[in-house]
Amino acid sequence: MGPFGNFALSFSIISVLSGCMTLFGFGLVTGGPAVMLWGWALVGLMVLVVGAALAEVTSAYPVSGALYFMASKLGGPRWGYGTGWLNLLGLMGGMAGGCYGTALFAGAWLNLQWGFTPTPERTLMIFGVILLLLATLNLFGVRLVSILNSISVWWHLGGVAVIVGALALVPSHHQPASFVFGEFTNHTGWSNPLYVGLLGLLLAQYTFSGYDASAHLSEETEHAQVSAARGIVRSIFWSWVVGFVLLAGMLFAIQDYAGTMGSATGVPPAQIFLDALGPTAAKALLLVIIVAQLFCANAGLASASRMVFAFSRDGALPFSTTWRRLSRRTQTPVAAVWLSVAVPFVLALPSLYSTTAYTAITSINVIGITPAYAIPIYLRIKNRHLFRPGPWNLGRWGVAVGTAAVVWVGFVTVLFCLPQTRPEGDALVNVNSFNYAPVALVSVLVLAWISWRFKGKRSYGVPAENFDRSASTYEDEVV
């Protein structure tokens, strides 16, 4: 990949047309327009701080293992091992959340086109088909992934321009600025407006994730010490700008707030398109979003599979010899790709019985991957005497920016472990409102501890910076 391809990878994974749209209904419930827009501005700024701190460490260690490699170098094997497991949880949660969101939009499009009823079972079936499609695309090698990511950048920019332009020009009625920037709504069951507003930050924080992909594919990027670092920062900044425009355009075009939240399609943005533009335009714009979401998920799978490959190459996963196998023809980690679609499918199974499972899946992404971002930054601050900056660095601001990043990550990690909705009656939570993201986090940490105690501390050391390619095995297969 060239510098643009590396930037395009992270920009595609952040994907404002995926994160903003799939959690748009969640935002309408948890604070409404005011929280969605001002929360986007705040979270985007803080994520830019996190991204800058992470980019500095990436410039010093541009290796596929990325976060866990950095942690191993700066803090030792135990830190690296734990970071790798958190990173893996976050990437798998991101794959599950992104692809499931795409399945929801695909179901809405099918509903408009043929009256298809998107039941949980049917949505899970669509979700499985999407995972299989993405796995097939990724098996053709990194060149195809890079080409698709480059197309994805222009698709996202063009898609946002078309959506916002249509919503600005076509409808005869628009909401006033006081509504878009000041309307607060609460349909969570919780009475504390501050708590509800903080929950609403999930929309932005979930969207701003996955930018570590620039680091994960650094070994396949030209001039990675600079290109990968710039890819992280630029992808966050441009997503911040484009996402704000998209959210504002959607909120100005809402015709019926209650009807949008209770849309028969199950997807509030689809209802906005229907009310403002009519069924033909609504179906066309939904297709634009679905294709963008597929681009996002395809890039996410590339990142997740490289993480599985690198972690296995260093002997950190069970059955590592299987997951580190490469195709002789494409150099693609085939088994790692299949594992990276199988685990997200399992994570999405609770959606069959829980109405809040999707937002819980997105929380898994946030509370898994966000702490993994902070650990190498924290170790860079704690062991600053060991850190040797790369060509892209923050200079004397490195410690201050890193400290702010770590504090923010700690805050959002705790926040998204809390219950997001409250059921009617006296109960604080029930089976439908329970946030099982902390369960996933604790389970992975326990699994990592057990794996470290009985295997990892003997088989896993600080990875070599100039790794031996022979550590990977090759297999012949037909793609």
DSSP 355-401: TTHHHHHHHHHHHHHHHHHHHHHHHHHHTTTT----SS--GGGHHHH
pLDDT attached to residue 475: 46
| Burial status of residue 152 (CB atoms within 10 A of its CB: 0-12, 13-18, 19 or more) | buried
- Residue 300: what are its φ and ψ, rounded to 5°? -60, -40
What's the DSSP call for residue 219? Answer: G
Spatial CB neighbours of 229, under 8 Å, sequence gap ≥ 6: 55, 56, 58, 59, 214, 390, 392
pLDDT reported for residue 447 = 78
Q: Which residues pair with 475 in a beta bridge?
A: 327
Could you list the pLDDT tens digit for every one of the 479 residues in the chain? 788 888 988 898 898 998 899 889 999 999 999 999 999 999 999 999 999 999 999 999 988 778 888 998 899 888 988 888 888 888 888 888 889 989 989 998 998 888 888 888 999 999 999 999 999 988 887 778 778 888 988 999 999 999 999 999 999 899 999 999 999 999 888 888 999 999 999 899 988 988 988 887 888 888 889 999 999 999 999 999 999 999 999 999 999 999 999 888 888 999 999 999 999 999 999 999 999 999 989 888 988 898 898 888 888 888 888 888 887 777 788 899 999 999 999 988 888 877 666 666 777 777 778 888 999 999 999 998 888 999 999 999 999 999 999 999 999 888 877 877 776 655 666 666 666 677 777 877 887 788 788 777 777 765 655 444 444 444 443 33
| Core vs surface per residue 327-341: b (16+ CB within 10 A) or e | beebebbbbbbbbbb
- Asked if 303 and 87 touch (Cβ cutoff 8 Å), the reply is no
Answer yes or no: are the C-beta atoms of 156 and 17 closer than 8 Å.
Answer: yes
B/e letters for 134-145, b = 16+ CB within 10 Å, e = fewer, are bbebbbebbebb
Contact between 58 and 246 (Cβ < 8 Å) = no
The tokens describing 110, both together, are 């099918």
* Half-sphere exposure (Cβ direction) of 398: Cα atoms closer than 13 Å: 26
246 contacts 207 by C-beta, under 8 angstroms: no
**CA 257/CA 100 separation, integer angstroms:** 24
DSSP 120-155: HHHHHHHHHHHHHHHHHHHTT-HHHHHHHHHHHHHH
- Look at residue 352 in the predicted model and tell me its pLDDT: 83
